Structure 1
Amino acid sequence: MPQISLGHSSLTGPRPRNEDFCGAATPEGPELDAKGILAAVADGVGGHANGREAAEYTVRGLLSDYYATPDTWAVNKSLDTVIKALNRWLVAHAARTRETAGMATTLSAIVLRGRRYYLAHVGDSRIYRLRGGRLEQLSTDHVWEHPELKNVLSRAVGLDAHLSVDYADGELEAGNVFALMSDGIWGQLGDRKIADILQSEADPQAAATRLAVTAEGGGSQDNCTALVLRVDALPAERLRDNVARLRQLPLPPRLKPGQQLDGLTVDALLHESVVTLLYRVHDARGQACVLKTLRPEHDDPQAAAALAHEEWLARRVSDAWFPQVIPHPPRSHLYYLMSWHDGATLKARLDNGHRFGSGEVAELGARILKGLAALHRLSIVHRDIKPDNLHVDAEGRLRILDLGVAAADSQHDGQAFEEINNPGTPSYMAPELHAARPVPASEQTDLYAVGVTLYQLLTRKYPYGEIEPFQTPKFGDPVPPTRYRPDLPAWLESVLLKAVARDPKARFETAEEFLLALERGAHRPLVVPRKSPLLERDPQLGLKILTAVSLVANLLMLWLLLIR
């Protein structure tokens, strides 16, 4: 994490009460690495009896609840979720009594994580950055201009049930100085004086104190609050640094049953893909687990980065619907361990000739969707849901396997890396992922893959036929599953057809919506059109018809001219 120095000052000024509030959180260890340093300044709505309470509640709530959000969430998503929850509470609290009516506050917050900064802002407190001797205002004042009164807030936390927050982010540089302040300071000093103070005071505490004292002494009629952060040093890029560490570890050789590695004994090779190897191993206590590593011929930094990212995600998915990462003493080779569970994948059960009934498939679908909903709540998209990656253990518990190509919205923080294989299996990928300009995979494309999986379990077919890698498929209407399984109930066919619809707008939007349709079953069946209009199936049909009509008309006119 960046090395930061910070300081703050808050003066009441001529006001009878200080309605400003500021705070910062500097956690340690994994929390610091995952969430970063958070600082915030709030200015309660001036003159209101509960302005101070609104400001303090908002800052304290943000500082505590931000660190309770999942590590896999992007910073902006975590900030937005917490700030809007705080806003809902303030609006509800203000509506209870006449004394609390109208309580609201501005909010300016900054997160410094890794080599980037993230801003959240509402109201007319400000965020400045001093870089290379140049002062820049990073926030926008949310005010209505008024000819007689001081600027009136157009946005504030607690002002309206529908809160719009400004977000921004950018690269950090060593020596950057960020200053968060209430309007009592910037309104009195102006940008030039603020820049002079920040440049002349190397110590953030001295800078914050001087900003507040100078504004108060200069005649500010408001509370004066400043919080100053200076970036003393930047960390190495975390993912690359982790890859460099992993690259120092050799890949294990291809292992055989009975061989040992770091106190682990190999029982069997479970699976071999183009890039990875899975072994069942057991430790000195006899505990069985799964060892995942790379094939020896794939000893390259990008493959190591992908394996490191997969382990990072898997550690954060601490849910019973997924195998769990098992801690292990310092590794002498590049691999990680997961919990082992007896049983078989749904693909293995298909291959063994198992005939899935409609009730069984509906129950499996419900369990898959519950697990996927847990993953999506962490803002992780699996991107490779299929029978091969769905495992049912000896006790009947279903688990979702293989986060090898999964993506979390928190991974894109200036630490880009290439993927080691295509994100998904073609036959389970939604039509929009096959387009000439494919859209990014999303929670909804995961749900499409669930629909294809359930369709395959029942029919051993694909709704649009099997799609080979590098093939450019064309999608018409999905084949109704009753063509292969006439015994399927109509309500289940409707659910499957909605799940695998060609148009994303016709599909389920969330795992919960899909799950509800399965649980309601025949009691409240879906109404799904079995066949889409011809023009929808072939968008170019209209142009083709117009071209044909035009050609016929031209030929007719030419014939009329020739016979005259």
Structure 2
Amino acid sequence: MTLSVSLGHASLTGPRARNEDFVGAVTPEGAELENKGLLAVVADGVGGHANGREAAEFTVRSLLCDYYATPDTWAIPKALDKVISAANRWLVSQSQKRSDTAGMATTLSAIVLRGRRWVSAHVGDSRIYLLRGGELKRLTQDHVWEHPELNSVLSRAVGLDPRLSIDFSEGDLQENDSLILLTDGVWGSLQDARIQSIVEKHADAQEAAFALAEAAVDNNAQDNCTALVLRVAELPRDTLRDSLARIRELPLPPTLKPGQEIDGLTTLDVLHDSRVTLLYRVRNAAGDIYVLKTLHANADPHDAAALAHEEWIARRVTDAAFPQVVPWQARSHLYYLMSWHEGESLKQRLARGHRFSAAEVADLGARLLKGISALHRLAIIHRDIKPDNIHLGADGRLRILDLGVAESDGQGEGERFGEINNPGTPSYMAPELFTQGGERARANESSDLYAAGVTLYELATRKYPYGEIEPFQRPKFGDPTPPTRFRPDIPEWLESILLKAVAREPERRFETAEEFLLALERGAHRPLQVARKRPLMERDPQFALKLVCAVSLVANVFLLVALLMR
């Protein structure tokens, strides 16, 4: 069963010479409906401003198109915010460039229905209502200033100000819910009781929308009248949350030994055995080999939820730089399958005594950053980049392993479910991730790139830029040790890149994986210029005060001696 919604809309000009409202909706099917949901929008071009209709139409069309181009792993509010903010910047820029588009602005009310939830985004004085069980509830607040000579003056609108603040809210859906989106021409002419009565009277969503707009015109509306009605007929049985709940309720498999079977899979050997997780190499009846990831028998419900969330993230990372999740319908226990690849990790290669040349470091770094870039485009932070988690296959392909502590804002589940493993390895964690003054920064793209820099530094030198950091240690970070201190043959261009990548302050590092990658690809042809040491005043901001105090002390001593010798 999938989400089933009937939709109707109407937009009447009313007493105005021109209809400046715009309304639209997208009703996708299949995976797109499951991942992104149904999106419906109304907008009201700001009256008295140039090209209000154009502003409303541009904003609605941009949102309907671009929302579905955002990554599936983005949370709905984040995706809506990114797209609406981009439209706002464009409208503001048009106002600044051309005198005939000054003040080009519009209200906006949008709602997304996905799974068994709704999420709204709202700016201005159009409105969204929820009619449920005979009760009409307004879901939005009008953004207006009270004015003694006018009915209302908008305090917020898309295109009105470079800094746009959007109201977001969300809630659960129920079957037979009606979501009603109205511009002020309708709600300003009809009382809430009349709106409810009209929607309840018309079972068909299209008839209800037209009846609302027509009733507003008949009631002497002073503006364009636009209504959009959504009726929820059926809700899906299985949302992501339901799926995760079902998976984590499966029983944990027993500890498996080579030769034992589970769900048609034969265990070959144990690949990894940590405090909580287990990885087995298994084979199906056709001879295909996979990796099976599960938990120890003493794992708690939070660990089970985290494993289910890890699988959800891994399913969405389809880039070739990552192992792929393998669907297995016969699953009767809590685990998931990944593709198996012959080869070894970079840590194993280091342990074998391999000495990586500068060219190898640059090549591996470029491939690593392409994988990290693919991850960041999906709004996923790995949080544990290190040689142990970078695999070089027998096929020559580099793959990034272990999304066990990865974070995605697509559902906010990473924080909610907790983590199976510790979040990161100390020697590869950025300085800002260590607790400072009781607060610890949250991992982000910059900390992933820092870990990539430490990884390449280790491949080149077998050392860490700030020395090895033990768990629970509170390290103090000065300047990173130049790699040439450990390997004089490292070229200057590579040293500059490594020093920038592992800089103590985030603002001194590469901003994106693409920037880091470009620096490696340019190499010696266009080398970076990076200061080997920070200026003394940056390393010790109080140095000037200390120097003044020292000079003053010396001068006072001389004066005292001079006075005593008289």
TM range (shorter): 0.7 to 0.9
Letter of the structure 2 residue corresponding to residue 529 of structure 1: A
Change (3 A) 1:107 1:244: closer
Report Cα offsets for 1:183-242 as digits up to 9, x if no partner.
3223434xxx13553378546847644532332112124321122457799889956644
Counterparts of 1:203 and 1:554, CA distance in 2: 93
- Output aligned runs, 1:304-453, within 5 Å: 304-412=304-412, 416-436=416-436, 437-453=439-455
How far has the Cα of 1:551 moved from its partner?
A: 11
1:111-510 map, 5 Å: 111-113=112-114, 117-128=118-129, 136=138, 138-141=140-143, 155-156=157-158, 164=164, 166-172=166-172, 178-189=179-190, 193-194=191-192, 197-198=195-196, 201-202=199-200, 205=205, 208-229=209-230, 241-298=242-299, 300-412=300-412, 416-436=416-436, 437-510=439-512
2:196 counterpart SS class = helix
Q: CA RMSD in A?
A: 4.4
After superposing the two structures, state which structure 1 stretch, 140-149 or 500-509, moved more. Answer: 140-149
Partner of 1:514, secondary structure, is helix
Q: CA deviation at 1:22?
A: 2.3
Deviations 1:78-107 (A, max 9, x none): 223434565688899999999999986543
- With normalisation by structure 2, the TM-score equals 0.84
- Please, which moves more after superposition, 452-461 or 60-69? 60-69
Query: Deviations along 1:25-58, whole A, 9 cap, x unmatched?
Result: 4445543443233221123566999866764564
Give the SS at the match of 1:337: strand
Deviates more, 1:93-102 or 1:498-507: 93-102
In 2, the alpha carbon distance for the partners of 1:185 and 1:414 equals: 42
Q: Deviations over 1:51-71 (max 9, x none)?
A: 667645643553344233221
Distance 1:412 1:551, change over 3 A: farther
Aligned-partner SS, 2:440: coil
8 Å contact kept, 2:248–2:308 = no
Matched, 1:516 2:509: no
Are the equivalent residues in 1 in contact too, given 2:198–2:212 (CA < 8 A)? no
Decide whether aligned partners of structure 1 residues 380 and 393 sit closer, same or farther in structure 2, where only a CA change above 3 A counts.
Answer: same
Worse-superposed segment, 514-523 or 37-46:
37-46
Letter in 2 for 1:305: A
In the alignment, what sits opposite 1:70? 71
Name which of structure 1's ranges 249-258 and 484-493 shifts more when overlaid on structure 2. Answer: 249-258
In structure 1, what residue type is equivalent to 2:382?
H
Amino acid paired to 1:377: R
Which letter does structure 1 place at the counterpart of 2:283? H
Describe the superposition over 1:454-485 as per-residue Cα deviations: whole angstroms up to 9, x where unpaired: 00011111111111111111111111111100
Offset of residue 396 of structure 1: 1.6
Give, in whole Å, the separation in 2 of the partners of 1:220 and 1:529. 67
Q: Partners in 2 of 1:41 and 1:113 — Cα distance?
A: 18
Q: 1:56 to 1:506 in 2, by over 3 A?
A: closer
Deviations 1:247-300 (A, max 9, x none): 4422222222222221222222222222211122222222222111112232x2
Q: Deviations over 1:358-378 (max 9, x none)?
A: 111011111111110111011
* Cα gap change, 1:557 to 1:410, in 2 (>3 Å): farther
Relative distance call for 1:179 and 1:92 in structure 2 (3 A) is: same
User: Amino acid of the residue matched to residue 298 of structure 2?
Assistant: E
SS at match of 1:359: helix
Name the residue aligned to 2:43. Answer: 42
Distance 1:196 1:14, change over 3 A: closer
Distance 1:118 1:541, change over 3 A: farther
Distance of aligned partners of 1:535 and 1:420 in 2 relative to their CA distance in 1, 3 Å threshold? farther
Per the alignment, in what secondary structure is the counterpart of residue 512 of structure 1?
Answer: helix
Query: Structure 1 residue 324: deviation in Å?
Result: 0.9
CA contact (8 A) 1:444 1:510 kept: yes
Quick one: distance in 2 between partners of 1:541 and 1:195? 71
Unaligned runs of 5+ in 2: 562-566
- Alignment CA distance shift 1:310-1:222 (3 Å): same
Amino acid at match of 1:482: T
More displaced stretch, 274-283 vs 236-245 = 236-245
CA distance in 2, matches of 1:311, 1:256: 24
Which sits farther off after the overlay, 107-116 or 334-343?
A: 107-116
Number of residues of Structure 1 aligned to a counterpart in Structure 2: 557
Residues 125 and 141 of structure 1 are in contact (CA less than 8 Å); yes or no, is this contact kept in structure 2?
A: no
Structure 1 unaligned residues grouped into runs of 5+ = 560-564
C-alpha distance after superposition, 1:313-365 (max 9, x if no partner): 11111111111111112301111111111111101100111000111101111
Provide closer, same or farther for how the CA distance between residues 542 and 111 of structure 1 changes in structure 2, counting only shifts above 3 A: farther
Deviates more, 1:115-124 or 1:43-52: 43-52
Letter in 1 for 2:23: C
Between 218-227 and 28-37, the greater mean CA deviation after superposition: 28-37
Change (3 A) 1:203 1:480: farther
What percent of counterpart residues are identical? 64
Q: What is the Cα deviation at residue 510 of structure 1?
A: 0.7
Aligned equivalents of 2:549, 2:472: Cα separation in 1 = 32
Look up the match of 1:562. none
TM score, norm. by length of structure 1: 0.84
